[in-house]
Structure 1
Amino acid sequence: MGDFNTMLFPHDGFDGSSRRNTDMSDFYACVEDVEIFDLHYTGVHFTWNQKPNSSGGIMRKLDRAMGNSEFTSKFQDATVQFHPSGLSDHSPVILSFKCGTRKRRYGFKFDNFITEHPAFLQVVKDEWAKHIEGTFMFRIASHLKALKTPLRQLRNSYGNLGKRVSFLKTELDRIQMDVDKDPSNGELGQDLGHIRIAYQNACRDKESAAKQRAKIKWLNEGDLNTKFFHKVIKERHYSNSIQLVCTSSGV
């Protein structure tokens, strides 16, 4: 928040020169680089007035309240108001918060790997068998809301995936060392088989969770419309474009 001493856009000026100059270009480049934007505001648009007269004088929007996507996601109730300047040449700005940080609401989501859990389908089947009065969409939403707790319990049964993978890898190494010393021990061979399968499953679950979170992060980053995001989209579009199609006859 504050007086930036230059306009950001040509329409931020009335009377006098409002064409883009070096200061405006530098300010615009800085805003793009740090990825901030004007917070939604009410009140006056032109926050600075030089030599006011009957025609309004030279007016500019030099004062701004800006933020980034992280700020707006944490403080969704933030409001900005620019008041008339009165006898001053600058307009006062007030940034208000109605209730502070708003509790974030999460939609229906779960880790993909728990679909492999033996109890997953039965948990979903039991919930969908319950009778709920209401419209079709209300029944769907109610079932999904009710499934959050049991699916979270299934997820918690896996514990910390990273620690689980690390522990099983240590156990696998230990048993493989024991088998190397006593290869004829059938009991050790059975333990080795069980630990190997458990370790493979844990690695698969960890990889699945990592891929899912990476996709979610990518979608969130894409919503910011950064230059990097658009560059990657263009590169993907180019690499995925079809240049030629060959028929079975060779045409």
Structure 2
Amino acid sequence: MKIISLNVRGLGKLEKEKFNWIKKLIRFHNPDIFAIQESKRKRVTDFMIELLWGNKNFEYIFKPSVGLSGGSILIWNPTRFCVTGAVEREFFLGIRGRWVGKMADSIILNVYGPHNDQLKQKFWDSLDNIMQVDTDDWVFCGDFNEVRRRAERKNCEFIESRAKMFNDFIDKANLIEIPLGGMKFTRISDDGLKYSKLDRFLVSEACYASWDGISACTLDRDYSDHCPIVLKDMNNDFGPKPIRIFNNWFEDDKCDDLIKDAWKVTICNPRADCVFRDKLKNVKGVLKEKCNPKYNSLNAEIDSLHKEISEWENIIGTRDLSEVEIASWLDSKKKWLKKDKEKVDILKQNARIKWVTEGDENSKFFHSCIKRRQNKNNIRGINSNGLWIENPEDIKMAAFTYFVPSKFVAP
């Protein structure tokens, strides 16, 4: 999945540089969906969209401008996103369809928000109402013409009541804002004095959970006062991860002995820090070898024990069990309860929710918390010397050079 959103601030006949800039954006980033706001055009042609997209493999919908403002375009690759319907309203343009390889339908809304206070509240209410009707995956992209907090404006007026309306809508609709990497502000005034973050991506809980590596960042702002923003699914491979340690491991007496024995292994190295490092590596290796397989097979063990219990209970319906059989049934049930508790404890630790009550671990909200935390902890990219970098090797080198004194920097 890759979606690019851009407030182009006019796509007229005389703006060839801007037109060519968008063509280059599409060719370089190869998006599945391209959302344009403020085209300021009353009509577009198939030929014009083909020139922008670069080939004939596209479909699109268009919303004309009103006077000299507004106008939206949504272009998509039908081999990646199969559209089954479209919708047009005063402040947004949307498509409904299914990503290739995904089972659930998704709704993509290209938003260009109003400026007027009364219209803003009407707009948030209308979005909330259509979300109540449909529970599919939602992606909102575009220029919302509003900020969420004071830090998202600089040298321009921040109106708290407007921000509250916006935040209330996001909370009520259970939307998640995807953090933008790259530039802090997405809109800069022509005189270079006023800054705002008006462009963003908002997604539903279901959409957030359906993609493993969803992230967003800004692109270079060349021929518009707004930055293009891109939403994509990416899985950066940083190599082996640090071992995960779960609290329930230490309930097993053998775990303490494993750690003590691994720590006692003699390390031959004159440097104390290297000795400490290698001792930790020994402990990690032992835990990975002994404890990780137990964690990975936990679900299979729970299913097997549950099946065994069900079989015993089916037999009870046809005849009485012997004392030995009853003992086996009760033993299986005891083991199942223990293993199920282990799984619940692991889920609680993964979610980092302290107020969990019984049964919460089976809820959709609980698992979305785990997914959100895992996604938040993943590194999608960093700013290094004013540049946004996403390649894992470049990120590791940037971290290395930041913490190591300059005289020790690797060539």
Amino acid at match of 2:280: I
Given that 2:298 and 2:339 are in contact with CA atoms closer than 8 Å, whether structure 1 keeps it comes out as no
Q: Does 1:216 align with 2:357?
A: no
Report the TM-score, using the length of structure 1 for normalisation: 0.57
Q: Does 1:202 align with 2:341?
A: no
How far is the alpha carbon of 1:123 from its aligned partner?
A: 5.2
Task: Show the counterpart of 2:200.
Answer: 65
Given that 1:110 and 1:151 are in contact with CA atoms closer than 8 Å, whether structure 2 keeps it comes out as no
Q: Does 1:20 align with 2:159?
A: yes
SS where residue 244 of structure 2 aligns?
Answer: coil
How far is the alpha carbon of 1:203 from its aligned partner?
A: 1.6
Q: 1:135 to 1:79 in 2, by over 3 A?
A: farther
CA displacement 1:205-229 (0-9 Å, x = unmatched): 212321331342244949989xxxx
How far is the alpha carbon of 1:138 from its aligned partner?
A: 3.7
Aligned length: 205
Question: For the residues of structure 2 that align with 1:8 and 1:159, how far apart are their CA atoms?
Answer: 42
SS where residue 291 of structure 2 aligns?
Answer: helix
Amino acid at match of 1:217: A
Task: Show the counterpart of 2:47.
Answer: none
CA displacement 1:165-207 (0-9 Å, x = unmatched): 32231243256567737xxxxxx32232233223212222212
Task: Show the counterpart of 2:376.
Answer: none
From 327, 333, 341, the equivalent of 1:193 is: 327
How far is the alpha carbon of 1:24 from its aligned partner?
A: 3.7
How far is the alpha carbon of 1:146 from its aligned partner?
A: 3.7
Task: Show the counterpart of 1:109.
Answer: 245
Q: 1:129 to 1:159 in 2, by over 3 A?
A: farther
Percent of pairs identical after alignment? 12
How far is the alpha carbon of 1:46 from its aligned partner?
A: 6.6
Question: For the residues of structure 1 that align with 2:277 and 2:197, how far apart are their CA atoms?
Answer: 49
How far is the alpha carbon of 1:26 from its aligned partner?
A: 2.2
Q: Does 1:30 align with 2:166?
A: no
Question: For the residues of structure 1 that align with 2:276 and 2:187, how far apart are their CA atoms?
Answer: 51
SS where residue 42 of structure 1 aligns?
Answer: coil
CA displacement 1:110-163 (0-9 Å, x = unmatched): 57279559x656655664554444332441243223421322334466662432
Task: Show the counterpart of 1:39.
Answer: 180
Question: For the residues of structure 2 that align with 1:113 and 1:4, how far apart are their CA atoms?
Answer: 48
**Which has the larger share of helix?**
1
SS where residue 2 of structure 1 aligns?
Answer: strand
Question: For the residues of structure 2 that align with 1:101 and 1:213, how far apart are their CA atoms?
Answer: 23
Report the TM-score, using the length of structure 2 for normalisation: 0.38
In structure 2, runs of 5+ residues without a counterpart are 1-140, 269-273, 354-367, 374-411
Given that 1:113 and 1:208 are in contact with CA atoms closer than 8 Å, whether structure 2 keeps it comes out as no
Alignment of 1:72-83 (within 5 A): 74=213, 79-83=217-221
Question: For the residues of structure 1 that align with 2:290 and 2:341, how far apart are their CA atoms?
Answer: 23
In structure 1, runs of 5+ residues without a counterpart are 182-187, 226-251
Q: Does 1:6 align with 2:146?
A: yes
From 223, 226, 229, the equivalent of 1:91 is: 226
Task: Show the counterpart of 1:246.
Answer: none
Question: For the residues of structure 1 that align with 2:186 and 2:320, how far apart are their CA atoms?
Answer: 80
Question: For the residues of structure 2 that align with 1:179 and 1:132, how far apart are their CA atoms?
Answer: 63
CA displacement 1:73-118 (0-9 Å, x = unmatched): 8257x5424525x5x4x23325488x9311373532257279559x
Question: For the residues of structure 2 that align with 1:159 and 1:57, how far apart are their CA atoms?
Answer: 57
Given that 1:108 and 1:145 are in contact with CA atoms closer than 8 Å, whether structure 2 keeps it comes out as no
Question: For the residues of structure 2 that align with 1:162 and 1:171, how far apart are their CA atoms?
Answer: 14
Question: For the residues of structure 1 that align with 2:296 and 2:148, how far apart are their CA atoms?
Answer: 50
Q: 1:142 to 1:108 in 2, by over 3 A?
A: farther
Task: Show the counterpart of 1:243.
Answer: none
Question: For the residues of structure 2 that align with 1:23 and 1:6, how far apart are their CA atoms?
Answer: 7
SS where residue 329 of structure 2 aligns?
Answer: helix
How far is the alpha carbon of 1:67 from its aligned partner?
A: 5.8
From 299, 310, 326, the equivalent of 1:170 is: 310
Question: For the residues of structure 2 that align with 1:38 and 1:158, how far apart are their CA atoms?
Answer: 34
Report which of the two structures shows the higher radius of gyration computed on alpha carbons: 1
Q: 1:10 to 1:48 in 2, by over 3 A?
A: same
Q: 1:128 to 1:193 in 2, by over 3 A?
A: farther
Q: 1:190 to 1:129 in 2, by over 3 A?
A: farther
Given that 1:161 and 1:206 are in contact with CA atoms closer than 8 Å, whether structure 2 keeps it comes out as no
Q: 1:10 to 1:204 in 2, by over 3 A?
A: closer
